[in-house]
Structure formats: structure tokens, C-alpha cells
Homo-oligomer: A and B are copies of this chain.
Amino acid sequence: MGTTTKESAIELTRLEEESIDYFVSFVQMFGLPKSIGQIYGLLFVSPEALPMDSIQTRLGISKGSLSQGLSLLKDLGAVTSHSLEGDRREHYRADLQVSRITNHFFENRLEPRLQNGKSRLSLMMDLIDESLDGFDDSAEVRTRVAALQKWHKRGGSIIPMIVKWLKR
């Protein structure tokens, strides 16, 4: 049940600590801020939905971080909010679908850059072809870029598969 300490912070249970650590490490793999992991980690092992102020005192993070973090997690679909009878505050609950977080990584971080990269590679090919500056080894470079193009295409095609695999 967690023991009370100091005036402002409430001690976390051992389980909560582990969960938080787990998810902090998890979200950091995907370049998300620590606070996201803390919030999700706490909610993940809370059977009841929690209101913001309670999350704040448990984690000891600022209202600002919390608000932003929850809003991102809601956008991802990793957290849902619920209004409880006779309580003005919104209550937040973790959605089990952890893959929402990984999807965010694939879809927002990887996909757009791969897309952008694709057109850039075409351009590179064009540049090689139109530069007839008697380049002896322009062929070598051409081969390289062609190989990259192939690899790039392959990488692009594997991502949807990974995403599908991780969901469900």
C-alpha cells in the first residue's frame, strides 16, 4: 500500500519502482523523454485510474511535464482518460497496448525520414548521371548509390511488417 514519507512525496511501492524503471528504459530506447516512461510505468501497475495530482505527488514531477506527458500518451493511445462519478478530476489509466509506443517510433521517427530519403536517393542518381565530368570512377559511386537504394527499399518494406508483428 506504500508508506507515507515527507510531506510532499508519497513513497512508491517496490513494484511501482520496478515498473517505472522498466518503462523509463523502454521509452528511452525509442527516444522519448524519461517522464513519459515514469508516467506510463506508474499507471501500468495501478489497478485504478489515477488523477493528475496523485500521479504528480507519487512521481514528484512537475505539473507541466505531467500534463504534456499525459497528453502525448493519450495521443498515442497508450493511456485513456475517464471521468469518475462525484470527482471533478479526470482519471488516467494505462492501455495494455504497449505497442502504441513503439508504433509512434516507427511511424513518426522512421517512416517520414525513409520517405524523404527515397527521393533524395533518386536525386543523387540523377546528379551522378548528369555529371559527365570525365569521371573515371563515377561508375563506382553509381554502384554504391544503387546498392543503397536497394537496401533502402528493403528497409522500408520491413517496417510495416514489424509494426504488424508488434501489434497484437
Contacts and interface: CB of A to CB of B under 8 A. Distances in A.
Nearest to A111: B29
B166 A121 contact: no
Interface in A112-168: 113, 116-117, 120-121, 123-124, 127-128, 131, 133, 136-138, 140-141, 144-145, 147-148, 151, 154-155, 158, 162, 165-166
B113 A29 contact: yes
A10 interface: no
A127 B22 contact: no
Interface stretch (A42-50, A52-60, A61-69, A71-79): A42-50
Interface in A2-47: 13-15, 18-19, 21-22, 25-26, 28-29, 31, 44-47
Nearest to A157: B165
Contacts of A131: 13, 15
A84 to B, nearest CB: 16
A137 B1 CA distance: 12
Nearest to A21: B120
Interface residues of A, number: 52
B147 A26 contact: no
Q: Main SS of the interface on chain A?
A: helix
Interface of A: 1, 13-15, 18-19, 21-22, 25-26, 28-29, 31, 44-48, 94, 96, 98-99, 102, 109-110, 113, 116-117, 120-121, 123-124, 127-128, 131, 133, 136-138, 140-141, 144-145, 147-148, 151, 154-155, 158, 162, 165-166
24 contacts: A13-B131, A15-B127, A15-B128, A18-B123, A18-B124, A18-B127, A22-B121, A25-B113, A28-B113, A29-B113, A45-B124, A45-B144, A47-B136, A47-B137, A47-B138, A47-B141, A94-B144, A98-B148, A99-B151, A102-B155, A154-B166, A155-B166, A158-B165, A158-B166
